[in-house]
Structure 1
Amino acid sequence: MRKIFLLLGFGSIVLLIAVGVLKNNDIEKPLLLQLKEKYRKKPIRKKVDHTKFEALNKDFKEPREVTEECEKCHNLTADELMKSNHYNWERAEYMRGRGVVYIGKKNAINNYCIASHGNEKSCAKCHVGLGLDKNGNIFTDPTNIDCMVCHDNTDTYMKAQEKGGEPVKTLDFKKISQNVGRPTRNNCGVCHFFGGGGNNVKHGDLEMAQFEPTRDVDVHMGVDGVNLQCVDCHKTEQHNIHGKLYSISSMNKERISCEQCHTNQPHKKDILNEHTLKVSCQACHIPIYAKVNSTKLYWDWSTAGKLKNGEPYVEEDENGNHKYMSIKGSFVWGKNLKPDYIWFNGTASHYLAGDKIENSSIPLVLNTLYGSYNDEDSKIIPVKIHTAKQPYDPVNKILIIPKLYDPNKGAGAFWKDFDWIKASEIGMKESNQPFSGKVDFIETKMYWPVNHMVSPKENSVKCIECHTRNDSRIANLRDFYIPGRDYSKIIDRGGLVLIILVILAVMGHGGGRIAAFYLRTRNIRSK
């Protein structure tokens, strides 16, 4: 009877294990297969043949003529786009301690090229309009919308340098207008891969290698894999593109996440799924960033302005990156970098033009990302931290927005005249900010969430890289206990003492039993 019960118990355990395995396979494996099938086999999209439209079969003299023709058919899109932050360079956001404010390129300050205000002719190369008015303002005329910059499928469309967003005049606008369609990585990347003034300068996880990357660089965008386009994840509703850039965003809404496709329990092992409560997918699946080309980690504006023989010059490092530019200062770059890690709940605060600096002796954080272990909405995310030394007014205690660009010498722009006082005076006046006439430099810091360059699963972060006392990836996050990394000397020493006492007790007990047996045996023999 006892053997029967043992066999039944053993059989029940085997059955439970089998059911668990089959359950996992039934639920999770098909999901992954569905995703692969959905994105690996690109659907054949029925594309309108714009060459058959008589209105487009003509030579366009101006790009606005193309926009006019687009809007005759797409008669609702102009209103949609002109309400978007892509066009307006600002949107209403709620910020802790401020309430609802308008934030965007118009008033946010970063620690790369500092600000767009007063430098629009240069910055607006990446605006979805066809130019600015004489005061550097965005046109409210619907014909100023640049349809081609996002929808050109010829890969020939190009914005002109320092023309406020105008395209190159010699382009074949007829050919481009007849070959428009869904935006590709080329359309998005021509701006977003080059933010901050060059390839991979800002983000670290968005660069020109992702025009045609391999799976090792980005498992989602890899041309040898599922070959996703940006808009496959960044869904768009009425020309409002989902996804947040937290240099100019502060609210936990309209974000995109890995869970949209992979759910919040994508793993076969429950212990890994439990991690998703507090650990973002990116924290484990993006072990390194800046995989192909270097990204900028430090920018020192205080060294800018040096000349050789009266002319500006450039110095490069061994990888061909600018390490010094007369117009911008000194730089430090990095490649194949481990991210830093912080808690983040999707909300942020920002330094806006004119904000007072309370303490100039410590680095000023320009975009504070909120989060903590005790916040139920927070998760550990990977970030790139960019530090800089940039100009500020030590009397008014505010950051300076200098006038950087002008096509002519003598207009006071720093990139032409190399005079910080003059450039600051003009830039602050154009920004409607006070200026004391004094220029100093302050250290600043920005956090850039790392969301791209996801690695193949076999290259994910290993458990031991975090659960260790030696150089843990999350060594800086000390507000919670993590096995393998954290310990208590009292508990550890107490446990060691208990182990020693147990060993001594076992040895004593065993020794006593052996001695008793020996004595009993000897007594029996002596009788």
Structure 2
Amino acid sequence: MAYKILPTLYSFALLIALSVISGTAVAAGSTADHSTFEGLKRSFESGPDVTRACLECHTEAARQIHKTTHWTWEYENPKTGQLLGKKNVVNNFCLSTSSNIAACSTCHIGYGWKDDTFDFTSEQNVDCLVCHDTTGTYTKDPKNKAPDLTKVALNVGPTSRATCGECHFKGGGGEAVKHGDLDPSLDNPDIFVDVHMDKDGLDFVCSTCHSTDQHAVAGSRYTPKASDNHGIDVPGKSDGARTTCQSCHGDVPHVKNAKLNDHTDKLACQTCHIPEYSRGDYASKEWWDWSTAGQLKADNTPLSKVDANNHEIYNSKKGDFRWENNVIPEYVWFNGTVRYTLLGDKIDPTNVVPINSFEGSADDPEARIWPVKVMRGKQPYDRANMTLAVPHTVGKDGFWQTFEWKPSLARGMAAAGAKFSGEYDFVETTMMWPITHMVAPREQALGCDSCHARNGRMEAVAGVYIPGRDSLPLLDTLGFGLLGLTFAGTLFHGVMRFIFRNRG
């Protein structure tokens, strides 16, 4: 039994160590106190001015940043050959960054990206503060009060849930819109929202798992790691990232009920251990219908509607929305390869168009059954070219000011370098997002009957026989036949014993 218990003890020790390494102890144990640096005790005219001061010591930091997807917003998937990244993909939230970069770049780790003239090679354009602010006052949003750059610079420190969440908890144009498992509930969650980030427990920060190497952050929505056969993360491993459950817990984490370990070659850990997403204080946006956008009040001013929970369910700029809490995920086979429908790809508007698709099947050794959020909605497409179409939304000539689809689409497609016929309509789309945060306490993990039952969690998962959900007619017939023969034999034996009870 010792060999079974050892991985669990090692995992527990590793989790405690990681919580210490990645929590507030990092700041307390740092070898540098930036508040004492004379070079930072001055007035800064701008963000780039702060960056120049940072680079006096951190000489390689900007060049490292320049090589990351966080900086380029571009990524070529080696498996599919598709050029992805926020610069290139289409989604069914805000649709596209192409001509709207002046607004979208408020979540870029740089200064001044307004249009195609932005200098991606400039070191001073790197924004150090957006990730390393510890005051909670830093912002680049022009609608907010300008931060005290000196105060922020003197108090820089490690990244935190708050700094990462400033963008990732608000993706898609608002809080809890995009991911389902990432929202401001994770700023200071309790154990019921996330067992790892529990502020009174392990208190993990994002970089505890999303470890970095020269500012490159492990973990990707474009090439997620669907399965991990490397086991627990130990020194010398070829894969040092901690973005998988197995990197801490291994492939046989269940000691008290070892039978559960028989599922790890087919199920992602998240499938059982994240029974619902959006479990905190924020509902997840599940539906976005752009086709209804543009309705105005009688005085031609924008219209907004909210439901009983104060969730916005209509906005003249964006259309209709639907929100949900405690959402049961959908489940798909996934091997880590994601294929996107890109601008210019032909679509079939008579069917629901998948913005992305997760590849994998039951006979794929790299595939696991994963929980996903499936975002649904309606968005524009080019009726003549049979391609998705993206609008220009921001600025005086954008849809959010003019409420005119045709010219907005023409400007958006031109900015993206795509053809637009001038004919448009709306098509229903889906987009999948893997669910991997908001891990529940073990007591709330799925039980056997959640999946091994008709109309259970696994009802739509194809290619695998699941006892309790599935039946094989021949096997059922043989089983009932054997049961009948057993009953008949037992009955015959009992009758014979009764008849001959007085003999011999």
Q: Is TM (by shorter chain) over 0.5? A: yes
Q: Which segment drifts farther, 509-518 or 102-111?
A: 509-518
Give the corresponding residue for 1:262: 249
Answering whether residue 372 of structure 2 is matched by residue 396 of structure 1, we say: no
Q: Measure, in 1, the Cα distance between the counterparts of 2:39 and 2:419.
A: 51
Answering whether residue 317 of structure 2 is matched by residue 327 of structure 1, we say: yes
Q: Measure, in 2, the Cα distance between the counterparts of 1:298 and 1:136.
A: 35
Q: Measure, in 2, the Cα distance between the counterparts of 1:38 and 1:438.
A: 55
Deviation at 1:140, TM superposition (A): 2.8
Give the corresponding residue for 1:4: none
Identity of aligned residues (%): 39
Instruction: Say how many residue pairs are matched.
Output: 484
Name the SS of the counterpart of 2:124 in structure 1: helix
Residue identity opposite 1:121 in structure 2: A
Which residue, out of 263, 279, 283, partners 1:291? 279
Q: Which has the larger radius of gyration?
A: 1
Answering whether residue 168 of structure 2 is matched by residue 192 of structure 1, we say: yes
Which residue, out of 456, 479, 495, partners 1:511? 495
Structure-to-structure mapping, 1:449-460, within 5 angstroms: 449-460=434-445
Deviation at 1:92, TM superposition (A): 2.2
Residue identity opposite 1:396 in structure 2: N
Deviation at 1:304, TM superposition (A): 0.4
Deviation at 1:139, TM superposition (A): 4.1
Answer yes or no: is the 8 Å Cα contact 2:242–2:248 preserved in 1.
Answer: no
Deviation at 1:352, TM superposition (A): 1.5
Q: Deviations over 1:51-103 (max 9, x none)?
A: 2222211111111111111111111111110111101110222243xxx3431
Q: Measure, in 1, the Cα distance between the counterparts of 2:427 and 2:31.
A: 53
Listed as ranges, the gaps of 5+ residues in structure 2 are: 227-238
Give the corresponding residue for 1:36: 16
Listed as ranges, the gaps of 5+ residues in structure 1 are: 1-19, 163-167, 522-527
Q: Measure, in 1, the Cα distance between the counterparts of 2:481 and 2:79.
A: 53
Change (3 A) 1:486 1:59: same
Deviation at 1:453, TM superposition (A): 0.4
Structure-to-structure mapping, 1:96-111, within 5 angstroms: 96=80, 100-111=81-92
Q: Deviations over 1:406-459 (max 9, x none)?
A: 1x2xx2x10000000110111111111111111101111111000000001111
Change (3 A) 1:134 1:362: closer
Find runs of 4+ consecutive structure 1 residues off by over 3 angstroms: 22-27, 40-44, 133-139, 249-255
Answering whether residue 29 of structure 2 is matched by residue 45 of structure 1, we say: yes
Give the corresponding residue for 2:342: 352
Answer yes or no: is the 8 Å Cα contact 1:465–1:472 preserved in 2.
Answer: yes
Deviation at 1:506, TM superposition (A): 2.1
Q: Measure, in 2, the Cα distance between the counterparts of 1:372 and 1:262.
A: 25
Give the corresponding residue for 1:17: none
Answering whether residue 294 of structure 2 is matched by residue 305 of structure 1, we say: yes
Answer yes or no: is the 8 Å Cα contact 2:209–2:242 preserved in 1.
Answer: no
Answer yes or no: is the 8 Å Cα contact 1:94–1:251 preserved in 2.
Answer: no
Answer yes or no: is the 8 Å Cα contact 2:15–2:202 preserved in 1.
Answer: no
Give the corresponding residue for 1:158: 139
Structure-to-structure mapping, 1:67-466, within 5 angstroms: 67-96=51-80, 100-133=81-114, 135=116, 137=118, 139-161=120-142, 170-246=146-222, 249=223, 256-268=243-255, 269-292=257-280, 293-308=282-297, 309-357=299-347, 359-406=348-395, 408=396, 411=397, 413-466=398-451
Q: Measure, in 1, the Cα distance between the counterparts of 2:8 and 2:423.
A: 62
Answer yes or no: is the 8 Å Cα contact 1:383–1:450 preserved in 2.
Answer: yes
Answer yes or no: is the 8 Å Cα contact 2:14–2:248 preserved in 1.
Answer: no
Change (3 A) 1:436 1:27: closer
Deviation at 1:37, TM superposition (A): 5.1
Residue identity opposite 2:207 in structure 1: V
Which residue, out of 22, 38, 44, partners 1:54? 38
Q: TM-score, normalised by structure 2?
A: 0.92
Name the SS of the counterpart of 1:48 in structure 2: coil
Change (3 A) 1:38 1:113: closer
Q: Measure, in 2, the Cα distance between the counterparts of 1:404 and 1:133.
A: 14
Give the corresponding residue for 2:232: none
Q: TM-score, normalised by structure 1?
A: 0.88
- Larger helix share, 1 or 2: 1
Name the SS of the counterpart of 1:143 in structure 2: coil
Answer yes or no: is the 8 Å Cα contact 2:376–2:428 preserved in 1.
Answer: yes
